[in-house]
Structure 1
């Protein structure tokens, strides 16, 4: 059997190394004071945030930094070592299935992942090092490929800190965190180093005992036009988890509000990476930039979402993923001298190869494997090429036309599982994705936008090569490797006053297939085509010198094209698609020793199943941060998380489960029956105060 190959981008690597050799001076990340400036953005739903917008945000979890992006909600339905749950534009993104994330130019999403397609674990972020967050919603830019159905975010780290510092943080439930960071110059280069360690038990009856270890080394030189950065990152964590549980088990008193159906869930993970990024500009060749990276990743995740449906020993499963990922990208903005007046052309290449040594699903008892449901080895590669032409027709009218080509190839080789050995094989698929946009300046302070785009989200390679259900040997229908989407957006951005910028976006998205959470299995599966429409209103306000306010509200409607039947009847509503969300952030920096940040968030009730007769409860939360600088070297910080001690749920699902008291099959059919359908919840953590002391040297 021949090995799976994409055209190896030797020329890409050579150009990257050549550009790196010519990089000079110290690289400085651009800090953008507003979400997007008029004339600088190509849509109403994109922007970039600098450190002054991010530093005062109180965070319970590192990934909540993404909530600085208007309309994004980040939550959790299990232990904090697991990737977060994300919601945006009427999508339950699960752990990242329809949103693309990048850190230092490296992709975070993992295709064909052991737990869920596009798994995007941002727990390795060190928020204090984040210098910029660039985001787009919708798939309207030709740069964005796989997983960018609802949008993409690119996170950059700073190259230097003003002076070395150590940060110590303590809080209830055993919360401890230490961070040390510093930078120095070496022969024209800047070296940044940071080390972080933390431990937390949480309010759970089974102590979470999460332990995180994080190291960053960053060597940089040059600026954003001519520069080079080399990065080494290492992250690992291990933890115990309290998964979502049947609400009836809490209401009956069988377990406490923060109790677990069965002890021992949790996991261990690591992500280690080496990467290089460079930029090179010479008048005759235009602006070049690119990245190269290699990632070693592993996850062993133990979960029990259904309790005791299958027997008295419980339904714990292990999901494993162990892979190495290699890739890079190259792009060029052609020099203006080679183009007609008013034209700007950019093209690029992107390549990625995942060598997944083992991806598997196992039945376990107390973390010991007792049965292999399926185990596979996967090789998956993707190659993308894009070009985008921006044309300025008049002073008030410009257009953006892009074309993207993607090719995905995969081979899955079964290595375990009684009914899995007949699965496997090869899958490949390509797609052309055109993008069209029109931007009109309606006045000195107003721009209008119209966009249309075709995009895609990949499906798990195992789903594209499986013909036999690995659980019971029944027939299984293969999924396409690519799920096509089309999107449209009409937008408006205007300055209502010199210090108040407002943007409005009306959007629509059509998906060829939908991913829906299945509560009794803890996974996602395809459920047919869907349609979404929505409206977003975002506001960015500066009040005097001291106050920055971001206020956003979003409404969406998500429906399947064909009705779905369940125990309540026929319905078209997409489960866990949030119809209404709103947020407000207030930053206060008067220039003296005091500073403060407040984050308010509202998540509206959403349908738990297709008829909409069962809904979640709406949730309002508030987090607050207060800072005081004693001197040039010493700072004190206080975070109050869940400020009003709201007793609500981080997440709610509808699914089948059995508690220990109900017994296997929930006592109505013996072992192996489906359990009792009901509300599954993961409670929000209670109010917590965390005190930090930072000393600079």
Structure 2
């Protein structure tokens, strides 16, 4: 299989073409000027935002910003968004766990992701609500990353309370390329991509294959293949993505097992964990005059075997379980700009609509022994549909002042057909309305100030909205509200010069409830209302033509509201995040990158008596271009940090331990120092 993946990647090479940019309404265009070697030479972070941005915490990142940024996994692309952390507590094929603004976003709740206009978050998912799996992305084919934080934007609804990230892939390449990478712990990757003229447009094709065992005692056996085919003609494009991965997982393990010598730091308790994911997506995007259109359909299949408590509930067979999800998704959006005037004041009105339908043919939780699926704890079929209308108007009373007002309404309908316990079947609807307002004042030529208010929401698992009986205990179960409102406000400032930009914001955010459906337990887990506030600072500076520096720092204060004194802490809500980076790009063809990421300590339980430790990582990369070739060496975890990628605190039971288990820290360590060497050839 390894040879097949490598050979397939090497054989897929197209024909060179000129690069172009895909633009959208009210966002800056990335200059796709090319050097003689065809490389992008413009930094997205240096693009002006003053006069365009609605808040101080939104921005754009171009390919050149992260082209030479060492990545240990694809999901770390979101760390180009200042203040975002992507970690992993399981196998590489699983969606990352995300942190932003005092949120433990789990695998995506309250953090909305899009690729070429299509939403990535999964509603009513087998493993976790809002599941945001970005593993199907090919980093070299991401043209730009647009990000926004907070619920201040009418064109984004579900999962957008903390932030939104939108990836746009390239339309065509300047030259076809092949690239091969080898690294520590059995890491192999091959990529081939190219584009050719076809009719009135351009056809882009790419295939990407990865094999990896990882540093774990239990070989990860990651086998991943990604593909992309995209046809672009004028302002229209049609894209097809394919992704399949299988992997074995080393989940978080109890600290006592490591301390006692029962297992090593990279060891495991249950050797039968892992999963498989298949995703095929078709997207169509276009623009006609002032109208933007996006259509998508996605076929998705998912299987994951996990065991977090080992022998706590079943001392004989163990607590292993398996989750499955199989669905089709259909959806699209339409937005139109209407430039007009009020008196003599220029006004731009945007009206838009969205629709999405998830036909979930199977979603289930099952007992499992030695990786083999057993009896279902709960199995369902779910239909979930939503529609939204929004309007937004921007008026400029002066050439230095912009006021934007918006309103969005979302209607959801759902039908749950419980196949194991009919009492948990049901149907229903929910509606939510959210206003937003943004004020931008250009106080000086290089300084713009912002004030924002907005309301958004996240949806809960539809099974949690119809449940009546706990499928495990048989006890009555509490239902959850399907749509949960978030309210936020923010003030900020942005300063820009030709080679320097900086922003500073302060925010306040409340959620009416963080009730969620637990895919691990098949029932609801009630959480309370929350309040968060904090501040963020970012900067980008090119003191010299060949040197770029960037940094971001975020502080947050997160608490439950309306709970008993002393139990207000939100588990895994990190209070501080720091990111620093430096990149050099010399005329000789030599370039290098250094990245530092710091993720602060966090409470692990509500009374703050158990806390995680801070995590700090440094990645280094060195690259050399000569003719049509580019050689690269990445050094991940350069200083050999032994921190943890994620830490939890809960009860588990190992074989031989007393009934009731032991409350303990459960950790997943960062991967040790490793080297990856790559060679790229362009034609």
CA distance in 2, matches of 1:655, 1:536: 31
Match of 1:105 among 102, 117, 130: 117
Q: Could you tell me how far 1:81 is from its partner in structure 2?
A: 0.6
CA distance in 2, matches of 1:688, 1:627: 17
Q: Could you tell me how far 1:590 is from its partner in structure 2?
A: 2.1
CA distance in 2, matches of 1:339, 1:347: 21
* 2:345 maps to 1:341: yes
Instruction: Report if aligned partners of 1:262, 1:314 keep a CA contact under 8 Å in 2.
Output: no
* 2:211 maps to 1:211: no
Instruction: Report if aligned partners of 1:508, 1:531 keep a CA contact under 8 Å in 2.
Output: yes
* 2:672 maps to 1:686: yes
* 2:182 maps to 1:170: yes
Name the SS for the 2:257 alignment partner. Answer: helix
CA distance in 1, matches of 2:114, 2:84: 16
Match of 1:195 among 189, 193, 207: 207
Instruction: Report if aligned partners of 1:182, 1:192 keep a CA contact under 8 Å in 2.
Output: yes
| CA deviation vs aligned residue, 1:579-611 (integer Å, no higher than 9, x gap) | 011101212112321011221111110001111
Partner of 2:305: 302
Name the SS for the 1:426 alignment partner. Answer: strand
Match of 1:250 among 258, 266, 285: 258
CA pair 270-128 structure 1, distance change in 2 beyond 3 A:
same
TM-score (norm 2): 0.92
* 2:682 maps to 1:696: yes
Name the SS for the 1:149 alignment partner. Answer: coil
Q: Could you tell me how far 1:563 is from its partner in structure 2?
A: 2.7
CA distance in 2, matches of 1:114, 1:517: 10
Partner of 1:321: 325
CA distance in 1, matches of 2:135, 2:374: 30
| CA deviation vs aligned residue, 1:236-276 (integer Å, no higher than 9, x gap) | 00010000011110011011111111111000111001110
CA pair 339-422 structure 1, distance change in 2 beyond 3 A:
farther
Unaligned runs of at least 5 residues, structure 2:
1-18, 24-28, 31-43
Match of 1:140 among 133, 152, 155: 152
Partner of 2:360: 356
CA distance in 2, matches of 1:118, 1:62: 18
Structure 1, 49-58 or 648-657: larger mean CA deviation? 49-58
Q: Could you tell me how far 1:337 is from its partner in structure 2?
A: 7.0
Q: Could you tell me how far 1:530 is from its partner in structure 2?
A: 0.6
* 2:286 maps to 1:278: yes
CA distance in 1, matches of 2:626, 2:679: 11
CA distance in 2, matches of 1:656, 1:410: 35
* 2:460 maps to 1:474: no
* 2:596 maps to 1:600: yes
Q: Could you tell me how far 1:28 is from its partner in structure 2?
A: 3.8
| CA deviation vs aligned residue, 1:30-52 (integer Å, no higher than 9, x gap) | 31442652112110000111111
CA pair 389-340 structure 1, distance change in 2 beyond 3 A:
farther
Partner of 1:12: none
RMSD value, Cα: 1.8
CA distance in 2, matches of 1:52, 1:178: 21
Name the SS for the 1:102 alignment partner. Answer: strand
Instruction: Report if aligned partners of 1:26, 1:220 keep a CA contact under 8 Å in 2.
Output: no
Partner of 2:541: 541
Partner of 1:643: 638
Structure 1, 315-324 or 394-403: larger mean CA deviation? 394-403
Equivalent residues in 2 for 1:420-569, closer than 5 Å: 420-495=421-496, 498-514=498-514, 525-563=525-563
Name the SS for the 1:646 alignment partner. Answer: coil
CA pair 586-650 structure 1, distance change in 2 beyond 3 A:
same
CA distance in 2, matches of 1:35, 1:509: 28
Instruction: Report if aligned partners of 1:27, 1:221 keep a CA contact under 8 Å in 2.
Output: no
Partner of 2:291: 288
CA distance in 2, matches of 1:162, 1:592: 21
CA distance in 1, matches of 2:343, 2:374: 65
CA pair 384-183 structure 1, distance change in 2 beyond 3 A:
same
Q: Could you tell me how far 1:625 is from its partner in structure 2?
A: 1.4
Aligned residues: 646
Match of 1:331 among 322, 335, 339: 335
Instruction: Report if aligned partners of 1:115, 1:523 keep a CA contact under 8 Å in 2.
Output: no
| CA deviation vs aligned residue, 1:206-251 (integer Å, no higher than 9, x gap) | 10001001111000011xxxx1000011100001000001111001
CA distance in 2, matches of 1:202, 1:526: 36
Instruction: Report if aligned partners of 2:541, 2:550 keep a CA contact under 8 Å in 1.
Output: yes
CA distance in 2, matches of 1:519, 1:619: 28
Name the SS for the 2:345 alignment partner. Answer: coil
CA pair 623-586 structure 1, distance change in 2 beyond 3 A:
same
CA pair 523-556 structure 1, distance change in 2 beyond 3 A:
farther
Unaligned runs of at least 5 residues, structure 1:
1-24, 282-286
CA distance in 1, matches of 2:73, 2:101: 21
| CA deviation vs aligned residue, 1:524-573 (integer Å, no higher than 9, x gap) | 833010111111011111111011211110000110013359xxxx4100
Instruction: Report if aligned partners of 1:139, 1:151 keep a CA contact under 8 Å in 2.
Output: yes
Q: Could you tell me how far 1:341 is from its partner in structure 2?
A: 3.0
Name the SS for the 2:46 alignment partner. Answer: coil
TM-score (norm 1): 0.90
Name the SS for the 1:437 alignment partner. Answer: strand
Q: Could you tell me how far 1:338 is from its partner in structure 2?
A: 9.3
* 2:103 maps to 1:91: yes
CA distance in 2, matches of 1:292, 1:129: 20
CA distance in 2, matches of 1:523, 1:257: 32
Match of 1:124 among 136, 147, 165: 136
* 2:394 maps to 1:390: yes
CA distance in 1, matches of 2:621, 2:522: 35
Q: Could you tell me how far 1:630 is from its partner in structure 2?
A: 2.2
Instruction: Report if aligned partners of 1:116, 1:523 keep a CA contact under 8 Å in 2.
Output: no
CA distance in 1, matches of 2:524, 2:162: 18
Instruction: Report if aligned partners of 2:56, 2:494 keep a CA contact under 8 Å in 1.
Output: yes
Name the SS for the 1:334 alignment partner. Answer: strand
| CA deviation vs aligned residue, 1:407-465 (integer Å, no higher than 9, x gap) | 0111100012xxx3311101211111000111112111111111111111101000001
Match of 1:586 among 582, 585, 602: 582
